[in-house]
Structure 1
Amino acid sequence: MKRLCTICARGGSKGVKNKNIRDMHGKPLIAYSIELARQSGLFDIIAVSSDSQLILDVAADWGADILVNRPLDMAADTSAKLPAIRHCVQQVEEIMQYKFSTLVDLDATSPLRTVQDLRNAVELFESRGVSNVITGMPSRRSPYFNLVELNDEGFVQLSKPLTVPIVRRQDAPLCFDMNASIYVWKREILLGDYGLFQGDTLLYEMPEERSIDIDSELDWKFVEWILGGREGK
């Protein structure tokens, strides 16, 4: 069984400028994902995809095996991520001249996940033989209880009202926030241009303190503080 880890990092970050290579406790942010993949011992190849040569150079310095130049039409602010991951996989397979059975993508801006999170997500995927695994944390709000939206008239309503109203959040069906930290796929599902959610998609649950995806300066400060606490132990 061959496993590939992809890490896709755009150069045009808006919320936090140059966040993928910005220093976080003595190393560029993207280094956390590269090092985690290496420490897990799971992967034959670790590949980094980017439209930025500077990001690719930094990734090479921190141990990425293969660097993939992402096409500019896959690196715009409105570009979806799945096509970039597919492109990266295809480029690596062309270079290596073999196919991978397990494909894992690590978000470059989620440095709080652990090696055990990664190993557990891959083990869940391979032991159950499913199409894919995503990661998420328990949701702070429930669409059945306290998550609301505006209707066509501009009035507020529950997002998913039930026939019998929920009076305690604890009684609502379990809901999760996707944290975009780890994605695991069968090759034929990812490259087959299917959507993210399949009939057998599983979720690997992570706690909130390991689920922050850096998308703002406030996120950056939270992550910096949490990592500082880990290093201080």
Structure 2
Amino acid sequence: MRICTITVRAGSKGVPGKNLRVVAGRPLFGHSVAQAVASGLFDEVVVSSDSEDILALAPSFGATGVVRRPPEMATDTAGKVPAIAHAVRSTEERTGARYEVCVDLDATSPLRTVDDIRIAVRMFEDADVDSLITGAEARRNPYFNLVEEQPDGTVAVSKAPDDAVLRRQDAPRCFDMNGSIYVWRRQALLEEQVVFFSSTILYEMPADRSIDVDSEFDFRVVEWLMNQRADL
């Protein structure tokens, strides 16, 4: 059995109230809920939040359950993965079921398509791995043109290779995590509560579906892109 969580905090410093702001006809978080439902993959689609407004709206986009996120898991410094694990455990207690594949869709990354979800889950289930993440090819490569500051104020390539990389195309491929889709084995998620394992794999998405809303500029870009799409 599979479960999909959408974990949505009420607060946001970068874009206040962003998850309830309307974009392309829905509150931002509602797109992720509707995509999960439309994929047809999940036995439960659950919204976890500390916002009563978000919890009240979630069923209107197809959520089959809601989970009140504990205050200690809803602070600016709290990690997201413990909230996902809490939502899975809470749903298992409510339904009596056991969800062996646990998927989380980030509410602030709504540019994914339903097919992205289906492909990512199929890729995960076809592999013997503990987790899958999504990302887009990085615009800056740490072996070539991403630099970091040294203690003396100078800068150097972040990951100095053994042999000089003269062209970006010759550097190892690197990716920006886009926070769009996460997939775990139940045991790995609930016992470890981390994203990365030695077996973690990546589903690559294009840059135009990989923008995470973390600023007003991001919100405007996502809003424009979503208003151009016909699959919403």
TM-score (norm 1): 0.97
Name the structure 2 match of 1:85: 84
- Mapping 1:45-84, distance limit 5 Å: 45-84=44-83
Give, in whole Å, the separation in 1 of the partners of 2:211 and 2:231. Answer: 20
Name the structure 2 match of 1:101: 100
Name the structure 2 match of 1:140: 139
Name the structure 1 match of 2:120: 121
Give, in whole Å, the separation in 2 of the partners of 1:228 and 1:89. Answer: 33
Name the structure 2 match of 1:197: 196
- Residue by residue, what CA displacement relative to the aligned partner does 1:72-105 show, whole Å, maximum 9, x if unpaired? 1111111110110011111000001121011000
Give, in whole Å, the separation in 2 of the partners of 1:194 and 1:118. Answer: 21
Give, in whole Å, the separation in 1 of the partners of 2:196 and 2:25. Answer: 37
User: Is the 2:85–2:193 contact (alpha carbons within 8 Å) kept by the matching residues of 1?
Assistant: no
Give, in whole Å, the separation in 2 of the partners of 1:219 and 1:137. Answer: 16
Name the structure 1 match of 2:170: 171
User: Is the 1:21–1:58 contact (alpha carbons within 8 Å) kept by the matching residues of 2?
Assistant: no
User: Is the 2:2–2:41 contact (alpha carbons within 8 Å) kept by the matching residues of 1?
Assistant: yes
Give, in whole Å, the separation in 2 of the partners of 1:205 and 1:214. Answer: 19
Seen in structure 2, the aligned counterparts of structure 1 residues 47 and 194 have a Cα distance that, compared at 3 Å, is closer
Give the secondary-structure state (helix, strand or coil) at the position aligned to 1:78.
coil
Give, in whole Å, the separation in 1 of the partners of 2:224 and 2:127. Answer: 36
Percent identity between the two aligned chains: 52
Q: Which runs of 5+ in 1 are unaligned?
A: none
Question: How far 1:232 sits from its partner (Å)?
Answer: 10
1:43 aligned partner, one-letter code: F
Name the structure 2 match of 1:17: 16
Give the secondary-structure state (helix, strand or coil) at the position aligned to 1:6.
strand
Question: How far 1:224 sits from its partner (Å)?
Answer: 0.9
Give the secondary-structure state (helix, strand or coil) at the position aligned to 2:212.
coil
Seen in structure 2, the aligned counterparts of structure 1 residues 21 and 189 have a Cα distance that, compared at 3 Å, is same
Give the secondary-structure state (helix, strand or coil) at the position aligned to 2:48.
strand
Give the secondary-structure state (helix, strand or coil) at the position aligned to 1:192.
helix
Question: How far 1:13 sits from its partner (Å)?
Answer: 1.1
User: Is the 2:136–2:206 contact (alpha carbons within 8 Å) kept by the matching residues of 1?
Assistant: yes
Question: How far 1:62 sits from its partner (Å)?
Answer: 1.9
Q: How many residues align?
A: 232
Give, in whole Å, the separation in 1 of the partners of 2:131 and 2:231. Answer: 36
TM-score (norm 2): 0.97
User: Is the 1:136–1:178 contact (alpha carbons within 8 Å) kept by the matching residues of 2?
Assistant: yes
Give, in whole Å, the separation in 2 of the partners of 1:107 and 1:170. Answer: 31
Give, in whole Å, the separation in 2 of the partners of 1:71 and 1:195. Answer: 19
Question: How far 1:119 sits from its partner (Å)?
Answer: 0.3
2:208 aligned partner, one-letter code: E
Give the secondary-structure state (helix, strand or coil) at the position aligned to 2:226.
helix
Question: How far 1:228 sits from its partner (Å)?
Answer: 1.5
Give, in whole Å, the separation in 1 of the partners of 2:195 and 2:27. Answer: 29
1:154 aligned partner, one-letter code: G
1:180 aligned partner, one-letter code: G
Question: How far 1:173 sits from its partner (Å)?
Answer: 0.4
Give, in whole Å, the separation in 1 of the partners of 2:169 and 2:48. Answer: 42
Seen in structure 2, the aligned counterparts of structure 1 residues 232 and 12 have a Cα distance that, compared at 3 Å, is closer
User: Is the 1:4–1:43 contact (alpha carbons within 8 Å) kept by the matching residues of 2?
Assistant: yes
1:227 aligned partner, one-letter code: M
Question: How far 1:181 sits from its partner (Å)?
Answer: 0.3
Question: How far 1:61 sits from its partner (Å)?
Answer: 2.3
Question: How far 1:194 sits from its partner (Å)?
Answer: 4.8
Give, in whole Å, the separation in 2 of the partners of 1:116 and 1:103. Answer: 17
Q: Which runs of 5+ in 2 are unaligned?
A: none
